[in-house]
Structure 1
Amino acid sequence: MYHQIADMPAKGTPYRGLCVPAKKFRQQMTWLKRLGYRGLSMQDLLPYLEGTKQGKVFGITFDDGYVNVHDNALPVLQELGFTATTYFVAGHPGGHNHWDIEKGIPHSPLMNERQIRHWAEAGQEIGSHTLDHVHLTRLPAAEALRQIEVSKQLLEAAFGVSVTAFCYPYGDESQAVREMTRKAGYTNATLTVKGLALKEDDLLGLPRVTVSGNIGLISFLIKCLTQKEHRRRVKKGRY
């Protein structure tokens, strides 16, 4: 799970680890390919999660849809032949991460429609992160459903693609919210719960491995390629 592919802000900046330097991202992806792994979007990963395909694969996701993902991550993905999913905040193309203001996280621009279209034309997947990056469980049911459904409809209408991947903002979800996601027509949805996705997981409640900007290469590979994250998930009872 990535957010921004950019230099980390100054020490003391809230959530500075959400920024992974471009050089480090390239190194991470390059080493995974050297080890025989292929990075996939959620759409491409789904058959492996369902058990109909097997192989050395891993999913790549980016939350929010930052310009720096388009500028810094996309060239790496294309060079290595990887695909990835970006979860876009559908109501704010060309905007910024206004939802982070109260946390003190610096503003960062979001992809505009031209950049989102280029992302899709480059073979990458468009996913939804609601209309407004909201806490879904804090909303009335009708508004939560609107955030889930209309974001999908807007993205599909604007970019001419099928949007089947969803990400719960803040990892805030419930069984009722998962059912809304299912009803809206998504085939998969991701959480902020840390862990490796398993075949037995609910496809609308998939965990992810969090990648922070200050992680070293060896630690990154251990997180992604060993059972460390799975053991942590089991210990915390995150099923």
Structure 2
Amino acid sequence: MYHQVGLPAPKGSPYRGLTVHPSDFRRQMVWLKRLGYRGLSMAQVLPYVRGERHGKVVGLSFDDGYRNVFQNAMPVLDELGFTATNYFVARHLDGSNFWDQPKGVPHSSLMSLPELRAWVASGHEVGSHTLDHVHLNELSSELAAYQITQSKRELENMIQHEVSAFCYPYGHYDNNIRDQVSNAGYTNATTTHRGLARMDDDLLQLPRVTVSRSTNIVRFLQKCLTRLEDNKRRSR
């Protein structure tokens, strides 16, 4: 799970750790490649999660649709033959991370529609992060369902392709919201729960491994390629 790939905000900025330096991102992806792993989008990694296919793969996901991912991460992915899923806030293309700014998080631009379409043209996947990056569990059932369902429709209209991947904003959801995601037609959804995906996981409640600014290459490989995170998950 990544968010931004760019130069970090000034020291003391909230959530500064969610921006991974471009050189660190490149190093992480190159080491995956060297070790024989392939980075895959959610659509492409699901057969491995379900046990239908076997191989050395890592699912790559980005939350929010930041422009710096288009600028700094996509060229690396394309160079290495990797694919990834980016979860877009459907009604805020070419906007910014407005949801974080009341907390003092610096402004960061989101991809435009042409950039989103270029993302798809390069073989990457578009997922939904709702229409407006809302706290779904704080909305009425009707409004939550609208955010989930309408974002899928609008993104599909933009790219003329099915959108089957969803990501819960802030990681907030409950059983009702999970069922609404299923009813909207998504086949998978990611959370902020820590851990590696297993065959017995609910595909609408998939865990992920957070990669932050301070994640050095050794820790990155430990998190992504060993059962360390999974063992921690089992112990909770």
- TM-score, normalisation: structure 1: 0.98
CA distance in 2, matches of 1:126, 1:72: 17
CA distance in 1, matches of 2:225, 2:103: 32
The answer as to 2:5 corresponding to 1:24 is no
Give CA-to-partner distance per residue, 1:128-151, whole Å, 9 cap, x none: 000000111110000000000000
Unaligned regions of 5+ residues in structure 1, if any?
none
- Aligned residue type for 1:75: P
- Aligned residue type for 1:181: V
Q: Partner of 1:29: helix, strand, or coil?
A: helix
Give CA-to-partner distance per residue, 1:47-90, whole Å, 9 cap, x none: 11111111000100000000000000000000000000000000
Equivalent position of 1:171 in the other structure: 171
The answer as to 2:51 corresponding to 1:51 is yes
What is the deviation of 1:102?
1.8
Give CA-to-partner distance per residue, 1:69-128, whole Å, 9 cap, x none: 000000000000000000000011100000001211111000000000000000000000
CA distance in 1, matches of 2:11, 2:160: 41
Equivalent position of 1:127 in the other structure: 127
What is the deviation of 1:13?
0.9
Equivalent position of 1:35 in the other structure: 35
Equivalent position of 1:222 in the other structure: 222
Unaligned regions of 5+ residues in structure 2, if any?
none
What is the deviation of 1:235?
2.3
Equivalent position of 2:234 in the other structure: 234
Aligned-residue sequence identity (percent) comes to 56
TM superposition outliers: structure 1 runs of 4+ over 2 Å = none
Report 1:77-92 matches (<5 A).
Answer: 77-92=77-92
Across the aligned residues of Structure 1 and Structure 2, the Cα RMSD in angstroms comes to 0.6
Q: Partner of 1:182: helix, strand, or coil?
A: helix
Equivalent position of 1:100 in the other structure: 100
Equivalent position of 2:69 in the other structure: 69
Q: Partner of 2:92: helix, strand, or coil?
A: coil
Q: Partner of 2:39: helix, strand, or coil?
A: strand
Q: Partner of 2:207: helix, strand, or coil?
A: strand
The answer as to 2:156 corresponding to 1:137 is no
Report 1:183-194 matches (<5 A).
Answer: 183-194=183-194
How many residue pairs align between the two structures? Answer: 236
CA distance in 2, matches of 1:199, 1:34: 26
